[in-house]
């Protein structure tokens, strides 16, 4: 359950009194998500989402995230919109946490990914990238290649307890990935812009097999656009048994290129970008698996799911392996 901070009825009513969104009708915690405390609000004027930002989110960066969502919406991307209070403030405090109210998006995220989800996903991702080009403020990717070796080192005492030999395998993979990364040494840099960086199925809503909205922008950052594509290859194109579904990948990439055609350098870099994306999520899941208390409200995700994906990408030599 992704509710780390309890909110009393009295505190919530006082908080909502600052907004012109009607009076409270219903209020419940939302189970999805692992970073923040999320609640669905129903007022006499409609449905909203209340988010309390927990300690892993840098409060100083929240205006960047909220500003990005406002910008993307102006550019035609359907995403949650921060709701300003009567004084025009979108970022406030509730229960000792930074907090914001955002609009509620209709739709359902796909519990089982199907081929017909993947092409609309690709189009939506490219539309996000196109819309983000005119958002000037930048936010460095705190979970990019420079973070991976320190993150693995922080797991050194527990990685082999998860799977024997895991520490050495990941160190060897990093020794391959980081020197081959775009922009490192003589490797060409790639087109950069604002990326979502966490566009998993539970962050994409669908209605009638069309994308109805994108949510949870709190890992968004400024990085290679093709890295976002590689993250989606990892998040959407593997079966529950770990097998790669090239049909899903082909559909996603075709949808993406209906809006923005990948440059040749991006195509050539796709295997290493996919390796890096698998490494990034494997390491954060490994850290959480080792460090989450047994009585925590959130169940950590198994990092070994991403070990299978990493091995696949390390064996993939070109973008042909992803269906292009």
| Tens digit of each residue's pLDDT (9 = 90 or more) over 183-242 | 999 999 999 999 999 999 999 999 988 999 999 999 999 999 999 999 999 999 999 999
Same domain, residue pair 23 and 122:
no
Residue-wise DSSP of 5-20: S---HHHHHHHHTTSS
Domain presence at residue 234: yes
Same domain, residue pair 43 and 66:
yes
Q: What is the mean pLDDT, run by run of 10 residues, along the chain of 324 residues? A: 75 95 92 77 96 85 96 97 96 95 95 97 98 97 97 95 97 98 97 98 95 96 98 97 97 98 98 98 96 71 96 96 93
Q: What's the pLDDT at 277? A: 98
Residue 302: count of CB within 10 angstroms of its CB: 12
Residues 271-298 have pLDDT tens digits of 999 999 999 999 999 999 998 777 666 6
Q: What's the pLDDT at 296? A: 60
Q: What's the pLDDT at 189? A: 98
Same domain, residue pair 215 and 267:
yes
Same domain, residue pair 165 and 89:
no
Distance CA 185, CA 283 (A): 24
Q: What's the pLDDT at 305? A: 95
How many structural domains does the chain have?
2
Q: What does the chain come to in residues? A: 324
Q: Which long-range contacts (CB under 8 A, 24 or more apart) does 236-240 make?
A: 236/113, 236/117, 236/118, 236/121, 236/200, 236/201, 237/118, 237/322, 238/308, 238/309, 238/312
Helix (H, G, I), strand (E, B) or coil at 109: coil
Same domain, residue pair 36 and 119:
no
Tell me the two tokens of residue 111.
Answer: 């519990």
Q: What's the pLDDT at 116? A: 97
Single residue among 50, 79, 103 that ends a domain in this structure? 103
Domain presence at residue 148: yes
Q: What's the pLDDT at 1? A: 40
Residues contacting 54, CB < 8 A, separation 6+: 4, 5, 35, 36, 37, 97
Same domain, residue pair 50 and 78:
yes
CATH code, domain with 93? 3.30.200.20
Same domain, residue pair 153 and 205:
yes
Find, among 182, 70, 71, 197, the residue nearest to 133 by Cα. Answer: 71
**How deeply is 165 buried, as exposed, middle or buried, from its count of CB atoms within 10 A (0-12, 13-18, 19+)?**
exposed
Domain that holds residue 60: 9-103
Same domain, residue pair 154 and 67:
no
Buried b (16+ CB within 10 A) or exposed e, 233-246: bbbbbbeeeeebbe
Q: What's the pLDDT at 157? A: 87
Domain presence at residue 2: no
Single residue among 54, 81, 103 that ends a domain in this structure? 103
Buried b (16+ CB within 10 A) or exposed e, 45-83: eeebbbbbbeeebeeeebebbbebbbbbbeeebbbbbbb
Domain presence at residue 108: no
Tell me the two tokens of residue 302.
Answer: 């198994």
Map tokens 């949510």 to a residue.
Answer: 215
Q: What's the pLDDT at 295? A: 63
Same domain, residue pair 47 and 124:
no
Same domain, residue pair 128 and 177:
yes
């Amino acid at each position: 359950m992704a509710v780390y901070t309890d909110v009393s009825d009295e505190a919530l009513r006082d908080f909502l009194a600052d907004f012109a969104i009607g009076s409270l009708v219903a209020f419940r915690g939302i189970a999805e998500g692992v970073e923040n405390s999320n609640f669905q609000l129903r007022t006499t004027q409609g449905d909203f989402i209340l988010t309390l930002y927990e300690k892993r989110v840098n409060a100083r960066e929240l205006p960047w995230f909220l500003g990005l969502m406002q910008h993307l919406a102006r550019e035609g991307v359907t995403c949650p919109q921060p709701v300003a209070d009567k004084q025009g403030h979108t970022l406030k405090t509730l229960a000792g946490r930074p907090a914001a109210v955002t609009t509620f998006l209709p739709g359902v995220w796909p519990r089982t990914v199907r081929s017909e989800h993947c092409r609309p996903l690709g189009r939506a991702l490219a539309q996000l990238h196109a819309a983000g080009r005119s958002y000037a403020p930048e936010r460095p990717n705190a979970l990019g290649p420079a973070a991976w070796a320190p993150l693995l080192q922080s797991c050194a005492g527990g990685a082999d307890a998860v799977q024997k030999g895991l520490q050495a395998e990941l160190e060897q993979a990093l020794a391959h990935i980081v020197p081959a990364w775009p922009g490192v040494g003589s490797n060409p840099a790639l087109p950069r812009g604002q990326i979502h960086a966490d566009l998993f199925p539970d962050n994409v809503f669908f209605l009638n097999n069309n994308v109805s909205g994108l949510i949870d922008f709190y890992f968004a950052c400024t990085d290679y656009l093709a890295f976002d594509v590689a993250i989606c290859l990892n998040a959407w194109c593997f079966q529950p048994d770990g097998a790669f579904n090239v049909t899903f990948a082909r559909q996603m990439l075709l949808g993406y290129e209906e809006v923005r055609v990948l440059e040749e350098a991006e195509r050539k870099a796709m295997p290493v970008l996919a390796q890096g994306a698998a490494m990034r999520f494997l390491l954060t899941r490994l850290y959480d698996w080792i460090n989450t208390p047994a009585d925590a409200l959130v169940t950590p995700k198994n990092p070994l799911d991403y070990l299978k994906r990493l091995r696949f990408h390390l064996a993939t030599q070109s973008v042909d392996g992803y269906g292009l």
